[in-house]
Structure 1
Amino acid sequence: MEPEDHIMQGPGEQRVAEAAERIVAEGRPRLHRTWTSLVATSLLGGIDVGVGVMTLLFVRHATGSELLAGLAFSVGLIALLLGHSELFTEGFLVPVATVIAGAATWLDLVRMWATVLVMNLIGGWVFMWLVMQAYPDLHRTAAALGAHFVDAGYTLSTFCLTVLGGGVITLMTRMHHGTESMTGKITASITTAFVLAGLGLWHSVLDSLIAFAGMHTGRTSYGYADWLRWLAWAVLGNIVGGLLLTTALRLIRSASVLSADNESAKADS
């Protein structure tokens, strides 16, 4: 590649390259955190999402509108963004890119995934218990919404909902890294919440917290064994969606742009 080719590189490709470099720079310390830091950040992630679920339940109870409730859930994703906490499905794009770049190992990735998921669920379980004790008027809504997910069954339709949920939340992560504007990042969080919760996509942590809220009421037809089976289904689909629908294609694009940059740099030297 001639030097002029690098000069002629479009602004779109330059932004992709810059975003890819930011992703790896962020992922390296995330994958090498101490256990204490990882557990604390992940617990906070469950609590932050719980704030969004609490708001979702209030709006759904007051209006009956799934779309408005989904928009209200954006409080949770904004809290994740500004509070710098960790959500399980946010661990697809950035950490996987970091491992592929050689800045961490697959064992580091599995350690992070397992810890974040478990701690998200523990933090969310505790927070939803507090919400259900504080607001008994929400019990009927929480029980109905929890049953909507856990009792929906294991079909092609529900699996596609989990795949779409994983893809959409990972897309939010990519949008966050595609801009340095905080306004742009908050907009991405709001629109993702609307699509994810407003359109009824399945998310392993978000919908687990709704299921927990239902179980805390004592009014549900499902129990923890039913929820665990549902969780395995949701996690599988979220991983498929997050890795294949969003992460893989964007890594291929980023890799091609970075490869072109490296070849141009060699030509310049």
Structure 2
Amino acid sequence: MNDRPASPTAAPERPEPESEEAFDRLVSEGRDRLARPFLPLLSVGLLGGTDVSTGVLAYLLVLGATGSHLVAGLAFSIGFVALLLARSELFTENFLVPVMAVVARDGSVGALLRLWAVTLVANLASGWVLMWLVVQGLPGLRATAVESGTHYATLPIGLESFCLAVLAGAVITLMTRMQHGTESTGVRLVPAVLFGALLAGGQLFHSVLDSLLVFAAIHAGADVGYLDWLPRLGWSALGNLTGGLVLVTAVRLLRVPHRVAEARREDG
């Protein structure tokens, strides 16, 4: 008679409960974002452009006073703090939360594209107005605005700028992921400050932030125009999408494949 105990059957690997809880929160919030009526969606986007413009103002003030992009980048993080506390949104903050809802079949691709388009246009529209106010109200910043905006308006469209845009998309999406990993507002402020400083201080290529700098340069009389800006907006947005969706969101989904499968089965 064999008295040896039977070998236990290996349990299937499952991710830690925190990952599953975070997935559920992301899907729930993403569903709400995708279902927003047009006017609330427009309002959130307009406020997002206004809030991040405060960071651009701080960036220009500190850059003009110190000449240091790193120190100015730290000042720029004021804009991300404002975004967090005011509950407004940037275009690039929607590469994780609503995408999770679409993957779980709690929202459609059409609703996602609507969210991206309205948020981006609203961010840029309110940012354009705020940059005009900054240049008119603080004429001493015009030289700094021209220098900063011209840099992005003349950035060659190629591999280097695309890589900078991919990094920017990954940085913002990682920030979003970290903020949704906790319920504490105080803890959420930490990635807002750190990643805001990294984005602006590292001069990464961000579709909204750098568009606002270009707008400021144009308002200040720089020798660049909207035809210089528009193709770079498209190039940076493409890179931001690649960095956010491929480097962060897709990898994040690999941690909870069974939850994705369950959500899709429940949907039918």
Output the TM-score relative to the length of structure 2.
0.91
Match of 2:140 among 137, 141, 147: 137
Q: Which residue of 2 aligns with 1:96?
A: 99
1:17 aligns with 2:20: yes
Q: In the aligned structure 1, how far is the partner of 2:227 from the partner of 2:158? A: 19
- Summarize the alignment of residues 191-230 of structure 1 with structure 2, pairs less than 5 Å apart: 191-218=194-221, 220-230=222-232
Residue 156 in 1 paired to residue 152 in 2? Answer: no
Give the partner amino acid of 1:171. Answer: L
Give runs of ≥4 in structure 1 deviating > 3 Å: 2-6
Q: 1:22 and 1:142 mapped to 2: Cα distance? A: 40
Matching residue of 1:51: 54
Q: Which has the higher helix share?
A: 1
Match of 1:222, SS? coil
| Aligned CA distance change for structure 1 residues 3 and 175 (closer, same or farther; 3 Å) | farther
What runs of 5+ residues in structure 2 fail to find an aligned partner?
A: 1-7, 263-268
- The equivalent of 2:255 in structure 1 is 253
Determine the C-alpha separation between the residues in 2 that align with 1:217 and 1:254: 49
1:83 maps to which residue?
86
Number of residue pairs the alignment of both structures matches: 255
Q: Do structure 1's residue 172 and structure 2's residue 175 form an aligned pair?
A: yes
- Matched residue type, 1:20: F
* Bigger Cα Rg: 2
Any stretches of 5+ residues in structure 1 without a counterpart? 263-269
1:70 matches 2:100: no
* CA drift at 1:245: 0.9
CA distance in 2 between partners of 1:208 and 1:186 (Å): 24
Q: Please tell me whether the aligned partners of residues 104 and 260 of structure 2 are also in contact (alpha carbons under 8 angstroms).
A: no
Is the alpha carbon distance of 1:111 and 1:62 closer, same or farther for their aligned partners in structure 2, counting shifts above 3 Å?
A: same
Mapped partners of 1:205, 1:143: distance in 2 = 17
Percent sequence identity is 50
Post-superposition offset of 1:255: 2.5
For 1:15 and 1:85, how far apart are their aligned partners in 2?
A: 26
CA RMSD of aligned residues (A): 1.9
Q: Deviations over 1:20-49 (max 9, x none)?
A: 110011111110001000001100000001
Give TM-score, length-normalised by structure 1.
0.91
